[in-house]
A = this chain, B = another copy of it.
């Protein structure tokens, strides 16, 4: 099943993504094994299991780690265009799990083909590194939140962050962006309990700083939220797509 060819890739139409040469896209096409559909809630990568390399084509997912008693930490959320499983190419076994939030489509790449990519197209190798560095920056920011920010600030940063990423992707409608995660996801991402996450969200809502309706997020006063959260990162202008 190869439902989507890389030459006609729907994601490439978005202007966040840097253009590739025809040769590069042809190589990516050859590198691609299948186009995979997976239902919401399914595991894309199992913890402590070997894993393939994917690009998330549509939908949302998240990377996570768990402890034996069930405590779970969401490391970061994955949106269309994000690479999945790079760390697993380097390790024998995946140090984290990946779960689909919504129904997702994935571009699955050739196992062990990563080295070929670097050798044949150094420019694509560079792009992979770019994406890895980018992801690391997001996790750094999350670590700062979880380690040092108050509950209100943490949620503020997370909402702003996801909002900006969606805006960059160009999927906003009327200033609202799709928001498929629930409060348990938020709690797991910011290192707080569900109950306290709920109370804090309620507080933010009463301050008129956020609103979720029918799976869409609005931030009525983004400037105020940015100041409260002390989070001013500008969204990435243009980024690679593999």
Interface on A for B, CB 8 Å cutoff?
Answer: 63, 65, 67-68, 71-73, 75, 86-87, 89-91, 95-96, 114-115, 118-119, 122-123, 125-126, 128-130, 132-137, 139-144, 146-149, 190-191, 230, 233
Contacts and interface: CB of A to CB of B under 8 A. Distances in A.
A68 B228 CA distance: 12
Number of identical protomers: 2
Contacts of A96: 140
Chain A binding surface, main DSSP class: helix
For A119, A129, A134, the residue with the greatest tally of chain B CB atoms inside 10 Å of its CB is A129
A9 B126 CA distance: 26
Given A125-B129, A136-B135, A140-B96, A148 B73 contact: yes
Contacts of A118: 118, 122-123, 125-126, 129
A111 to B, nearest CB: 16
A238 to B, nearest CB: 12
Contacts of A190: 147
B133 A75 contact: no
Nearest to A134: B90
A226 to B, nearest CB: 13
A209 B193 CA distance: 30
Contact of A133 (B87, B126, B141): B87
A129 B83 CA distance: 13
30 contacts: A63-B140, A65-B143, A65-B144, A67-B230, A68-B230, A71-B148, A73-B143, A73-B144, A73-B148, A75-B144, A86-B129, A90-B129, A90-B133, A90-B134, A95-B137, A95-B141, A95-B233, A115-B126, A118-B118, A118-B129, A119-B123, A122-B125, A128-B129, A129-B129, A129-B132, A132-B133, A136-B136, A142-B143, A143-B146, A147-B191
